[in-house]
A and B are shown apart, each in its own frame.
Chain A
Amino acid sequence: MNTNISAQDRKGWMSLLASADEARLSELWQGYGADPAFDWLRAPEAGGVMVRGRMGGSGAPFNLGEMTVTRCALVLADGSAGHGYVQGRSKAKAEIAAKIDALMQTSAADDLRAAVLAPLAAEQTARKEARAAKAAATNVEFFTMVRGED
């Protein structure tokens, strides 16, 4: 078990897993192959979190509405604990996310990063870029009409 994991790194992969497409995550996870034995620390449960916004985008907070989230926690045989916090109501997705979170704290990290996290991140970036590219194509170019003598 590797204890030299920065919170920043862990935040990065947990965040990536939280918004990952379930079907794609499950496919990559199966492609990775290993499925470690584990015990539940907290069985998957679906719930809601209250999303907040700020008045005027920058002022005092207010409650905007809830979103669904599923969470779970488990521990591997070597003692690595993994947490899954994912958007939506899929317990299977939360379970995969928690297993990946646990394995990322072991010597399996590099393999797992290459097999699951890197492709997920690349696809997420590509998806965002494609949307941004379509938005950019709708950016208005204004033309100034010169009127009068000079």
Chain B
Amino acid sequence: MYVAVKGGEQAIDNAHAWLAEERRGDTSVAELSLAQIREQLALAVNRVMAEGSLYDPDLAALAIKQSRGDLIEAIFLIRAYRTTLPRFGYTQPVDTGAMACDRRISATFKDAPGGQVLGPTFDYTHRLLDFKLAADGEVPAAPEAEPRREPTPHITEFLQGEDIIEREPASDAEPGDLTREPMAFPAGRAVRLQSLTRGDEGFILGMAYSTQRGYARNHAFVGELRIGTVPVEMEIPELGFSIEIGEIALTECETVNQFKGSKTVPPQFTRGYGLVFGQSERKSIAMALVDRALRWEELGEDNVGAAAQDEEFVLSHADNIQATGFLEHIKLPHYVDFQSELELVRKLRREAAELAENLAAQEAAE
């Protein structure tokens, strides 16, 4: 028998009213403005843009406020909003070589042309709590020096001169788009990169860490890490030419990895690539490591059975909205499912008890 159950509307409405009140918190404390979130919690905003896969700092700030700082919930809100937007088109690929760099470092070349530019980094801080921030404090202006006006060249260009690193084949092949077609395997590197850049930072970090600890080891150097802004250019069909439709901040990581060569390729360095919206340094390094691990087949490396080499495993579990949706749905009413399980277990127990009784009776008879 199946009994449909209704109810809970009033409880749900009241729960949401209370949620709104709790979100606001103590009303004697000033309310957060979206501008405050955008400007002062910028790295949270960046994460929501990257994993929400929509570059709009004001919307990300709104999502963070609405979600009470639960970033996965905020990402969920952005993903849901994103689906309501008509798609105007695809941009030309951004030119990261023309990036106006806030930060640009190389762990492989000390004297990289363009310099080692630290930018606004947490590196070399002592990770001690700064109690001055607990009080209101004026921040002194950051020092300035003669600005660099020419573009900063990519580090890999120098290695390519020696032909000692693999070349990225030039191509304008139309990439797959996982927001348009469901993922199928093998996904190919373009879809892998799209999936990784919007994937959960924690998951990508864990996968990348596993490669460093020996699961699909491919010893990586950070050849270059750069953070800055690039213009985004798009062809406008009604005009017949392209314009810059805006400017976005990006973090790009290129790893340089050991490679002992294969039957057709002499020993050379190989590459992993990370490119993420906003200042998202940890994520882009992790993305580059996972990208490199997933390239084992095209590079003729052994599949050692590591999780980070398994495209289907990585891409199917990288998306925190899919993951949290499936994980959290089990807290919702499953009364009917559970009722049938309950019936089944009772039946099995009854049968087991009857069997035991029969056996006992048989033994007594013998």
Contact = CB atoms under 8 A, between A and B. Distances in A.
Interface of A: 7, 10-11, 14-15, 18-19, 45-69, 71, 73, 83, 85-89, 128-140, 142
A45 B168 contact: no
B147 to A, nearest CB: 3
Contacts of A47: 85-88
Interface in B99-131: 100-103, 110-111, 115-120
A62 B193 contact: yes
B148 A135 contact: yes
A89 B234 CA distance: 17
Interface residues of B, number: 84
A83 B170 contact: no
Nearest to B241: A7
Interface stretch (B209-217, B271-279, B339-347): B271-279
A19 B193 CA distance: 27
Nearest to A73: B238
Nearest to A8: B241
Contacts of B154: 57-58
Given A53-B96, A68-B85, A88 B271 contact: no
23 contacts: A10-B239, A19-B244, A45-B86, A48-B54, A48-B85, A49-B91, A51-B248, A53-B275, A54-B94, A57-B273, A61-B175, A63-B175, A65-B53, A65-B55, A66-B53, A133-B147, A135-B101, A135-B103, A136-B144, A138-B117, A138-B120, A139-B115, A140-B116
Interface of B: 49-50, 53-56, 58-59, 82, 85-94, 96-97, 100-103, 110-111, 115-120, 142-149, 154, 156, 168-179, 189-191, 193-194, 197-198, 231-232, 234, 236, 238-248, 250, 252, 254, 271, 273, 275, 277
Interface centre among A49, A57, A133, by most chain B C-beta atoms within 10 angstroms, is: A57
